[in-house]
Amino acid sequence: MSSSQSPKSPKGPASHGGKAASPEPNPAPPAIVALSAEEIREAGILPGAHWTEQPIEQVDDDGASTIGSIASTTASLTSSIFEYRTVHGRTYHGEIGNAESWEPNDQRHVDSMDILHHTFMLSLGDKLFLSPLEKNNIHKVLDVGTGTGLWAIDFADDFPNAEVIGTDVSPIQPSWVPPNVKFELDDCNHEWTWNEDSFDFIHLRLLNGVVSDWFSLFRNAFRCARPGGYVESLTTSAYVRSDDGSVKKGSALEQWHGIFWEGGKKLGRTFKVLEDDLQKMAMEEAGFVDITVKDLKIPLGAWPEDKKLAEIGLWWKMAVESDIEGYLNYLCNALLGWTSEETLAYCAHFKKELADPNIHGYFVMRVVYGRKP
């Protein structure tokens, strides 16, 4: 099913299981201070000017001009939920939770998230999850940070007897959905107000740069999962590797992780989820058992000889390219102090390297699931 619509109708804050509404009044977000030149140097991040100085031949620049050109479409909306922040022409949610979101919520990014959903499915072998769920035992499901809601919608299609709830801080979900899906505005970093022992499955996909405390997140998930229920978390590493040395130090691909890791530190919401093994550690600490960790090597680009892997790599290339500027705009602009020209130049180099069949970059994707005893 295709999703994606721009925000249309504000949904009220979540009221879970008859309890009080979840989001508390929004605390003033902490002022984000850009990284100092020394911090940037120490992290091995090349200056933005480096990318404008490098010559670049023939770049597929189809979407690159978007930064600075997308006008906010929210001006006429009265609800404060739609009073997004605008950074270099991209919009970011601004009402629920911590307003300093690094990820845009405009149409271009929404489209990119939809491509990503298909890409994840393909990467998991056409599966929505890896947990050993018994179909007849799944009645209530939570998808935290649901994004455009495609995972929740597809899950609801496959499990028509289950009630599926997708939560997010941004109201970017479609309104035409299966009758067993609903979306609610909710900040996963607040104490969860869902009833105890209520969910058969809690799904958390790609919450890098979103979660302020992974241990608290899984404690909440443990409390709200029913005994015998599963929690599953999928994350990706920002580290682009190659086994043959074709991802060179100082290349755009090699620089990617530094931008995200340092950005995450500044935001107080880490992107080093995989490297710090946060999913497993936090699940264990919360009390989940039978924890299973699966790492998958994900090619970036269509370079693998294996056809299936090449297809997966092509989709990842497309998913990143579809809004690479959106992924980087806030981090590079607000945290690294780059100009939009510098960010665009970096993006152009990144895209060129992605398209180069001699560069065999890949990253690791990790799925961790566990059961509440």
Ligand X SMILES: C[S@@+](CC[C@H](N)C(=O)[O-])C[C@H]1O[C@@H](n2cnc3c(N)ncnc32)[C@H](O)[C@@H]1O
Smallest gap from Cβ 206 to ligand X, in A, equals 4
**Residue 6, SS3 per DSSP:** coil
| Residues in 33-72 that interact with ligand X by CB under 6 A | none
C-beta of 16 vs 205, nearer to ligand X: 205
C-beta of 59 vs 124, nearer to ligand X: 124
Work out whether 168 is an interface residue with ligand X (CB under 6 A): yes
Please give the size of the binding site for ligand X, defined by CB under 6 A.
21
* Residues 172/110, Cβ–Cβ less than 8 Å: yes
Smallest gap from Cβ 186 to ligand X, in A, equals 6
Q: How is the beta sheet containing 289-299 ordered, strand by strand?
A: 181-185, 163-168, 140-144, 199-205, 225-236, 362-371, 289-299
* Residues 343/328, Cβ–Cβ less than 8 Å: yes
- Please identify which residue in 23, 48, 97, 313 interacts with ligand X, judged by CB under 6 A: 97
Residue 21 pairs with which residues in a beta bridge?
15
Work out whether 210 is an interface residue with ligand X (CB under 6 A): yes
Taking CB under 6 A as the binding criterion, the range among 161-169, 282-290, 307-315, 363-371 that sits at the site for ligand X is 161-169
- Please identify which residue in 23, 48, 89, 145 interacts with ligand X, judged by CB under 6 A: 145
Work out whether 170 is an interface residue with ligand X (CB under 6 A): yes
Work out whether 187 is an interface residue with ligand X (CB under 6 A): yes
Work out whether 147 is an interface residue with ligand X (CB under 6 A): yes
**Residue 288, SS3 per DSSP:** coil
DSSP 142-208: EEET-TTSHHHHHHHHH-TTSEEEEEESS--S-S---TTEEEEE--TTSPP-SPTT-EEEEEEE--T
Work out whether 169 is an interface residue with ligand X (CB under 6 A): yes
Instruction: State the Cα–Cα distance between residues 291 and 370, nearest whole angstrom.
Output: 4
Work out whether 232 is an interface residue with ligand X (CB under 6 A): no
Work out whether 367 is an interface residue with ligand X (CB under 6 A): no
Q: Write the CB contacts of 120 (distance below 8 Å, at least 6 apart in sequence).
A: 151, 205, 206, 234
Smallest gap from Cβ 229 to ligand X, in A, equals 19
Work out whether 264 is an interface residue with ligand X (CB under 6 A): no
**Residue 110, SS3 per DSSP:** helix
Instruction: State the Cα–Cα distance between residues 178 and 160, nearest whole angstrom.
Output: 9
Using CB positions, name the residue nearest to ligand X: 147
Work out whether 205 is an interface residue with ligand X (CB under 6 A): yes
In the structure encoding, which two tokens stand for residue 10, read together?
């504000």
Task: Give CA 297 to chain center in angstroms.
Answer: 18
C-beta of 109 vs 317, nearer to ligand X: 109
C-beta of 168 vs 200, nearer to ligand X: 168
Smallest gap from Cβ 139 to ligand X, in A, equals 21
C-beta of 157 vs 356, nearer to ligand X: 157
In the structure encoding, which two tokens stand for residue 75, read together?
């001006």
C-beta of 187 vs 325, nearer to ligand X: 187
DSSP 39-52: HHHHTTPPPHHHHH
| Residues in 104-133 that interact with ligand X by CB under 6 A | 113, 116-117
Smallest gap from Cβ 373 to ligand X, in A, equals 26
Return the residue matching tokens 């920002």.
238
* Residues 232/207, Cβ–Cβ less than 8 Å: no
Work out whether 282 is an interface residue with ligand X (CB under 6 A): no
Interface residues toward ligand X, by CB under 6 A? 93, 97, 101, 103, 113, 116-117, 145-147, 151, 167-170, 187-189, 205-206, 210
